[in-house]
Amino acid sequence: MTTKALAKFTAEMCYEKLSAHSIEMAKKCLLDWLGIAIRGSQEKPVRIIHDVILQGDAPKANIFGSIPAKKASALNAAFINSAASHSLDFDDLHNPSIIHPACVVVSPALAVCEAEHKSGKQLIAAICAGYEASGRVGEAVIPESYFFWHTTGTAGTIAAGAAAANALGLDAQQTLMCYGSAGTQAAGLWEFLKEGAMSKPLHTGKASYSGVLSAYLSQKGFTAASEILEGEKGFCRAMVKEPHLEKLTESMSTDKLKIDINSFKPYACCKHAHAALYAIQELRKAHSLQPEDIAKIKLYVNDITNYLINNPQPQTPYGGKFSIQYCSAAMLKFGEVGIAQFSEECIHNKELTDLMQHIEVIRDEAMEQLHAADASKLASRVEIQLQNGQTLTMQVDYPKGDPENPLTWEELCAKFMSLAVPVYGEAKALRLQNWVASLEQCSDVAQALDACLKEE
């Protein structure tokens, strides 16, 4: 039984079994998630979700970004924090499964650990368990399901259940039932993208909520499908006709976990644009390029990138995050693609909209073959034709942030502070950063967060 084997593996994951690299990656994932959740809490979609969800609640877990500090139930804190941490599209990615794990794993793991007064080591184990489930379930249905289903919302529901179940200390059978309840609630469709609507953080918020709900139901004896992943009417076959079921359980070992190959974002937009953006950033620096130097830009991309972010006329700042043309133009003009580049002013900037008319996106067989051979390669080739007749070319297989070209702890700390300080101030942000750095020494997550978030 495939689901049973995976449920047992994630249920039995504990701090003592983890490698030093996995522990370090879990802390990186937590810090990256935390900064994005704090800053993302200020976004309009998250404020709407926040106000709707908190209509009568039992305060047990922090809602990050709230001033003064505000708490909710583990269910609702997971929902709101998850939506916040996905609202900026600045969160991490597991390339082979095309899932943003932190928003659907750290959110429920932290909410449950805080509500239940668990230790930092228990939080690390829950994060690793959730990342394992997210990567394996996602890989079982990728790439076919991704053309319609938002995998972070679908497979992420099961990942959230795995994380919450581990945090609660459920045994293998209880975790199996948690998987069943989570899988039957999985959802999230891409149709919202063409209008730049607010649905994406709703997908992750609901996934996290459903995962926590499933774990608490299982703790009370609630039963569910025991073959929710591989069953004839289960998750994987509902997503695709021929799922890759072997991905669910092959080579299961704490010596090599999915979290070990996690990617982090230096740019606040869809990860499928990052290879092209990194190439443009490097060429811009090497040749001191400015928008007026450009005659034509050709972006050679794989099928999914072409399908998802080939959008020459984004109408909203959020839509700009899913336009490789806009992101490329912004990189050429500003030399970075951060939160500031996704404002109403920027998205309608005439210099940028004019530059976008000179950017051509080309579905390229070579890029597609690279991705088909290795799902972790979200590669792009960039060709820039200059006004002086010169042509500059660069191919990037692994952009900055990928495990082959990683963001260091120091770089992640700088990213975290840039996101958290505008909301919390330097002192509170630094307390949170230091807490994550020494997480394994934390005996009670709830007490530690109360100390970090206390008012000056």
Please tell me whether residues 386 and 239 are part of one structural domain.
Answer: no
Residue 177 and residue 149 share a domain: yes
Same domain, 128 and 236: yes
State pLDDT tens for residues 231-250: 999 999 999 999 999 999 99
- Please give the C-alpha separations between residue 269 and each of 15, 142, 218, 450, in angstroms, as whole numbers: 33, 21, 36, 32
For residue 448, tell me if it sits in a domain. Answer: no
Same domain, residue pair 208 and 75: yes
Give the CA angle between residues 36, 299, 193 to the nearest 5°.
45
Q: Token pair 């076919």 is at which residue?
A: 144
288 and 244 in one domain?
A: no
Could you tell me the two tokens for 28?
Answer: 């990186």
Render each residue's pLDDT in the chain as its tens digit; 456 residues: 799 999 999 999 999 999 999 999 999 999 999 999 999 999 998 988 888 788 678 899 999 999 999 999 999 999 999 999 999 999 999 999 999 999 999 999 999 999 999 999 999 999 999 999 999 999 999 999 999 999 999 999 999 999 999 999 999 999 999 999 999 999 999 999 888 889 999 999 999 999 999 999 999 999 999 999 999 999 999 999 999 999 999 999 999 999 999 999 999 999 999 999 999 999 999 999 999 999 999 999 999 999 999 999 998 999 999 999 999 999 999 999 999 999 999 999 999 999 999 999 999 999 999 999 998 899 999 999 999 999 999 999 999 999 999 999 999 999 999 999 999 999 999 999 999 999 999 999 999 999 999 987
Same domain (yes/no): 143, 216: yes
Residue 409 domain flag? no
Per-residue pLDDT reduced to its tens digit, 211-224 = 999 999 999 999 99
Do 221 and 321 lie in one domain? The reply is no
Q: Is residue 401 part of a domain?
A: no
Name residue 381's beta-bridge partners.
300, 395
Last residue of a domain, one of 373, 396, 419: 396
Nearest to 38 by CA among 454, 418, 443: 418
Q: Cα–Cα distance between 63 and 83 in angstroms, integer?
A: 11
**60: containing domain:** 2-261
Same domain for 254 and 324, yes or no, is: no
Using CB atoms within 10 A of its CB, is residue 74 exposed (0-12), middle (13-18) or buried (19+)?
A: buried
Q: Are residues 211 and 64 in the same domain?
A: yes
User: Residue 179 and residue 321: Cα distance in Å, rounded?
Assistant: 32
Q: Measuring CA to CA, how many Å separate 165 from each of 16, 28, 47, 340, 343?
A: 18, 22, 28, 38, 39
Q: What is the CATH number of the domain that holds 340?
A: 3.30.1330.120
In sequence order, the β-bridge partners of residue 361 are: 299
- The CATH number that applies at residue 15 is 1.10.4100.10
Q: Which residues contact 250 (CB under 8 A, 6 or more apart)?
A: none
Residues 180 and 41 grouped into a single domain: yes
**Residue 455 located in a structural domain:** no
- Tell me the three state secondary structure of residue 397: coil
Which of 243, 225, 19, 13 is CA-nearest to residue 137?
243
Count of CB atoms situated within 10 Å of the CB of 246: 11
Q: Same domain, yes or no, for 10 and 129?
A: yes
Whose CA is closest to 414, among 405, 399, 426, 402? 426
> What is the rounded (10 degree) CA torsion for 340, 345, 346, 349?
-160
**422 assigned to some structural domain:** no
CA dist., res. 93 & res. 77, Å (int): 22
Phi, psi angle pair for 392, to nearest 5°: -110, 135
49 within domain boundaries: yes
Among 209, 238, 261, the domain boundary falls at 261
The number of domains in the chain is 2
Kindly state whether residue 411 falls inside one of the protein's structural domains.
no
Domain for residue 434, yes or no? no
Is the domain of 221 the same as that of 292? no
Domain-terminating residue out of 346, 368, 396: 396
